[in-house]
Amino acid sequence: MTDVSPEAADIVVIGAGFSGMYALHRLGGDYRVVCLEAGDGVGGTWYWNRYPGARVDIESAEYSYGFDDALQQEWRWPELFAAQPDLERYANHVADRFGLRDRIRLSTRVTRMRFDESANLWHVWTDRGGYLVCRYVIAATGSLNASNTPPWPGRENFAGQVLHTTEWPREGVDFRGKRVGLVGTGSSGVQAAPIIAEQAEHLFVFQRTPAFSMPSGNRPVDPDYERDWKANYPERRKQMLQTYGASLVKYPTLSALECSKEEQDRILEEAWHSRSAFQLLVAFRDVLTDMAANDVVCEFVRGKIRQIVNDPRTAELLCPTTYPIGGKRLCIDNGYYGMFNRDNVTLVDARAAPITAFCEEGLRTMETTWPLDVIVLATGFDALTGAMTRIDIEGEGGMRLREKWQSGPTTYLGSMVAGFPNLFMIHGPMTPSAQAQMITTGEWQVDWTARIIEEMTRDGKTRIQTDETAERWWQDELSQVASATVHRHADSWYRGSNIDGKADVFMIYVGGFVRFAELCNAALDEGYRGFTRL
Ligand code: NAP
């Protein structure tokens, strides 16, 4: 197959993002672990997404590692919501502090994997030419890393620059004196737009579907806040894992429909200023389960948009009306709606007149041509499955993962796929993914996976696999909890419906992190239910 001699490892971890680095740290003491990373630096999401305005949408006190108390006591976040450079600095600090660098191969993209059934080993090829042979692969490839670029023709004719938010040049981009077209109004577009507007001669925001967004309330961390977190970290980390989204918000018991209008407004006003998107979505117990309750929150946010945006026509265009709040990921912003009051910002309705092509001058829509110097694509990701299906993964009997997943992903507990033994995913499809705070839940999934590997070693086993019965059970569980929520009423990357030709199936576990963790633990505690160990 190849004349290069393989390198042996116990475990290959794919990706040096936050989960991958923790997997390397967690298992690296007892096993020979090699971590392969496509980027030339660590940090994963926070390495690639360096567009202007990129910052976390959950407070950094929560969205940070909890596995090492000295780390969380010593590290200082400058702002409540860390910006990308600080998150990347944190990732590099962790790599150095825990001595991970010598086992991370940067600029090394995994291109192909094949399971050797006779030896129960994975062969892992990279674009660097060599290959590794290992017992286990942990794909810490992230939910959101395969970028989505619309298939418009004519890119080669455009004289200006085309950028994607997730492949941003390290040296940055100078927008001064430029006419900039920003396509996409999800979390990335909503964060980037206000910063670009401050620099550009003119910013045209091409909106196909308006986003719901709330203000982050970001500010520098004050000493009292930091002291309070550091005094309570161990306890709060435990509490996070006992919540729906691994995030400390208030979980009210009231239904929106049993409150007076005044009471609704008071509760929603508080949630609007809570600095937590989760809080707005659980302001009442039924926001995510009842369309009428959901609409109370939608109308509140639409009211905010109409208050903030001066031009009534622009305000109406910015008001989402076609899907429930939370059905798509709720954005959290720093001055997004207010930005539309600037003279140098224009909102373009790319729903009424869809973009059809790049052209020499800029972008062409069904109606007109928009002259531009720079086009920024904030058009999102082939989420959840894309990172895995872009690798040529061959399991038992020559089965290809991308073929198996053609009509949508199948997994057991979001961790393993039938026909692909000894391959684990972290934050894979059918996990809570972005429905829960991802650093903490990533650590949890790594610990759970490490337990499996350690118990395999202890018991002298070399192969663990799941089967289609277990996959069907997990699909039923996922569908059942999803059918009780409003998510099915929105097109989004949660469903794959943002990608032309991708199977439209709901891919996120929305039963809450607590239930997810209980089911994962129960499977192991009850004799590895749904798994076979050989
Ligand atoms: P996204 O939410 O999928 O948004 C993509 C945007 O591009 C949508 O507005 C979409 O419109 C638009 N679009 C796609 N193709 C288009 C086309 N052909 N013509 C016109 N518009 C088009 O992607 P994202 O903003 O990158 O965010 C993805 C996820 O990443 C978020 O949901 C969040 O979980 C995560 N994220 C987090 C942060 C943070 O922590 N702060 C920041 C950024 C991203 P439609 O809605 O009509 O499809």
* Domain regions of the chain by residue span: 7-147+383-533, 155-377
Tokens encoding 455 = 């118990």
Give me the percent of the chain exceeding a pLDDT of 70.
99
On the question of pLDDT at 388 being above 90, the answer is yes
Cα distance between residue 523 and residue 534, in whole Å: 17
**How big is the chain, counted in residues?**
534
Tokens of 374: 């720079």
> Average pLDDT of 427-438?
95
CA-proximal residue: ligand 1, atom 6 (nearest):
184
pLDDT tens by residue, 25-58: 999 999 999 999 999 999 999 999 999 999 999 9
Look at 89-93, 310-314, 380-384 and tell me which has the smallest mean pLDDT: 380-384
What is the Å distance from ligand 1's center to 14 Cα?
Answer: 24
Structure tokens at 424: 């684990």
Residue 105 predicted with pLDDT over 80: yes
Q: What is the pLDDT of residue 344?
A: 98
How far away, in angstroms, is 290 Cα from ligand 1 center? 25
187 lines ligand 1 (CB under 6 A): yes
Pick the atom of ligand 1 nearest to 166's CA.
Answer: 26
Q: Decide whether any atom of ligand 1 lies within 6 Å of the 16 Cβ.
A: no
CA-based angle 463:466:471, to the nearest 5? Answer: 165
Give me the pLDDT at residue 1, please: 47
- Distance, in Å, from the CA atom of 265 to the CA atom of 297, rounded to the nearest integer, reads 9
Which ligand 1 atom is the nearest neighbour of the CA of 380?
Answer: 23
The phi and psi torsions of 368 (rounded to 5 degrees) equal: -155, 180
Name the DSSP letter for residue 188. H
pLDDT at 263 over 90: yes
Q: By CB neighbour count within 10 A (0-12 exposed, 13-18 middle, 19+ buried), where does 374 fall? A: buried
Is 80 exceeded by the pLDDT of residue 530?
yes
CB 498 near ligand 1, within 6 Å? yes
Average pLDDT value over all residues in the chain: 96
Let me know: does 394 contact 94? Beta carbons within 8 Å: no
Which residue, chain included where needed, has tokens 């089911």? 519
pLDDT digits (tens, 9 = 90+) for 207-260: 999 999 999 999 999 999 999 999 999 999 999 999 999 999 988 889 999 999
**Confidence class for position 376, pLDDT limits 50, 70, 90:** very high
CATH superfamily assigned to domain 7-147+383-533: FAD/NAD(P)-binding domain (3.50.50.60)
- Under the banding of pLDDT at 50, 70 and 90, the label for residue 3 is low
pLDDT for the residue 260: 97
How many helices (H) and strands (E) would you count in the chain? Answer: 16, 20
- CA-CA-CA-CA dihedral for 380, 382, 383, 384, to nearest 10: -170
Q: Are 79 and 64 in contact (CB under 8 A)?
A: no
- Tell me what pLDDT residue 5 has: 84
Q: Which of 50, 187, 438 to mutate to test the pocket of ligand 1 (most atoms within 8 A of CB)?
A: 187
Q: Does any ligand 1 atom lie closer than 6 A to the CB of residue 326?
A: no
Return the minimum-mean-pLDDT range out of 13-22, 84-93, 411-420, 479-488: 479-488
> For residue 510, is pLDDT > 80?
yes
Residue 73: half-sphere exposure toward Cβ, Cα within 13 Å: 6
Q: For ligand 1, is residue 331 a contact (CB within 6 Å)?
A: no
